Amino acid sequence: MLTAARLREDFHGVEGLGWISALRTKEIQKLVAGSGFQFSLFDDRDFGEVYSPEFPGERLIACRNPLLQQERARKREDLLQATERELQLIVDATCRLKNRLQGKSRIALRVGKIIHRFKMGKHFVIEITETSFSFRRDPESIASEAALDGIYVIRTNVPVPELSAEEAVRSYKRLSTVERAFRSCKTVDLHVRPIYHQLPERVRAHVFLCMLAYSVEWHMRQKLAPLLFDDEDPAAGESLRASIVAPAQQSPSAQRKACTLRTADGLPVHSFATLLRDLATLTKNRVQPKTLAFSPFDTLARPTPLQQRALSLLSVAA
């Protein structure tokens, strides 16, 4: 979300405000093409700091993820092959004996639809005439893009004493937590929208209450983690990680819960939503005795073992 324009216009020169973002593909291409970047950076480690005069006063941390590199190569090859199959049909249409496809504009229109669908036009050399069409791969374009497979560059203005390169990468990867919070607030749990208020102070109050509700949800998730699919021991999972650039690992307890669908004490594992629905079955009942000599009284439903465990984790007396 923090584009170069936003960083320049909204954050430049603001004291005490740190930010972490990432370079776009074109910016990475310019950085790699410069004299200050060497691919030997990744010989011993999968991340390291680089410097560029294009980003004064900023730190750049280049990372290479081998798994991401393989996945992008696979996707590109699949898209190239799919594009070739569709383009070959156009070639065949220009060569058939009956109802032959002719006309430069007609051929180009069909080719354009294929290129737009697969977004692989940059990797092909295409020749169109009034009566023919041919194509071939552009190996230089493919090699140029493949050289950047798995590479991403994080940029930040936070100095080294406050944030090491490893911590910068870790903080950037926590973007998924922010995205999850947005989804929770907007659609999944809290439904911050639509907003039916008109006055500014009421809109601010509405958003504030939604953020307050999300804060309560976050703390509840932390306490209820032993009953949820959430990882209750993230430190153990972090210790299994080969590198900060490598994919996150689940702790052994989280893997066990995912496989057995049971907690350590034998209770069924829940998502946060299904656990709340289970807790919602706890009721407070008003009892009216048939004999008028007795006054009405309230009684609480007896919690199940799962509900009792959840209430104890939340420090709520049943």
Average per-residue pLDDT for the chain: 89
Mean pLDDT computed over 217-237: 91
**pLDDT, tens digit (0-9, with 9 covering 90-100), for 267-302:** 999 999 899 999 999 988 998 888 877 888 888 889
Confidence category of residue 262, pLDDT binned at 50, 70, 90: very high
The torsion angle over the Cα atoms of residues 169, 175, 178 and 184, rounded to 10 degrees, is -140
The residue written with tokens 């790699």 in the block is 32
Distance CA 19, CA 3 (A): 11
pLDDT digits (tens, 9 = 90+) for 45-104: 889 898 888 888 889 999 999 888 999 999 999 999 999 999 999 999 999 999 999 999
126-140, 183-197, 286-300: which has the minimum mean pLDDT?
183-197
State what percent of residues in the chain have pLDDT above 90: 47
What is the rounded CA–CA span in Å between residue 11 and residue 3?
Answer: 11
R_g (Cα) of the chain, nearest Å: 29
pLDDT > 90? residue 105: yes
Sequence-distant (≥ 6) Cβ neighbours of residue 144 within 8 angstroms: 29
Reported confidence tier of residue 139, pLDDT bands at 50, 70, 90: very high
pLDDT at 318 over 70: no
Check: pTM over 0.85? Answer yes or no.
no
pLDDT at 1 over 70: no
Distance CA 123, CA 101 (A): 24
Residue 110: pLDDT over 80: yes
Question: In this predicted structure, what is the pLDDT of residue 269?
Answer: 95
Average pLDDT over residues 148-171: 91
Q: Of the given ranges (57-71, 117-131, 153-167, 289-303), which has the lowest mean pLDDT?
A: 289-303
The confidence score (pLDDT) of residue 187 equals: 75
Percentage, residues of the chain above pLDDT 70: 99
Checking if the pLDDT of 11 tops 80, the result is no
Who wins on pLDDT, 192 or 123?
123
pLDDT of residue 2: 66
> How far is it, in rounded angstroms, from Cα 134 to Cα 306?
67
Mean pLDDT value of segment 9-19: 79
